[in-house]
Amino acid sequence: MRILVDGDSCPVIDLTVEIANKYMIELKVFADIYHNIKIAFGELILVDKGNQSVDMCIVNQCQSGDIVVTADYGLAALALGKNSQVIDFSGRIYSEKNINYLLMKRHKHAKIRRTGGSHSTESKRTQEDDIKYQKSLIVLIESNL
């Protein structure tokens, strides 16, 4: 088991590093070359700036049993297809039961934006989001030990 993090705009890198270090789990944080990320534990993998370059690098490296940390529904779907477990930055665990709904929601929102409309956005991140993320990540880790 490894933890692979979609590091572009990820608010939980430090929490993930702390948890991976505590459980001594291999950690890889992926980001494009324009992000200034520093981590005290694990490996930072920088990729060229490009559309979906970080996502494709993660998909190419993820394996069955890995935990992927991302808020990207497309990446989540691809990682689930490789039998990885996927969690978002607020602790929601993606599964075969919810990914199709989330992908459809993303599609509908994109359609609305293309026609000049707007839709509700996610609320600002709270301390409760960090707590929920931490608890959910630990549950995923401990269920695989």
Global confidence as pTM: 0.84
Helix (H, G, I), strand (E, B) or coil at 40: coil
Whole-angstrom distance, CA of residue 94 vs CA of residue 77: 8
Whole-angstrom distance, CA of residue 81 vs CA of residue 99: 11
In tens digits, what is the pLDDT along the chain, a chain of 145 residues? 999 999 988 999 999 999 999 999 999 999 998 888 999 999 999 998 877 889 999 999 999 999 999 988 889 989 999 999 999 999 989 987 876 666 667 556 666 667 777 666 667 888 999 999 999 999 999 998 7
CATH of the domain at 38: 3.40.50
Which uninterrupted H or E stretch holds 134?
Answer: helix 127-144
Structural domain tally of the chain?
1
Domain holding 39, by residue range, is 2-144
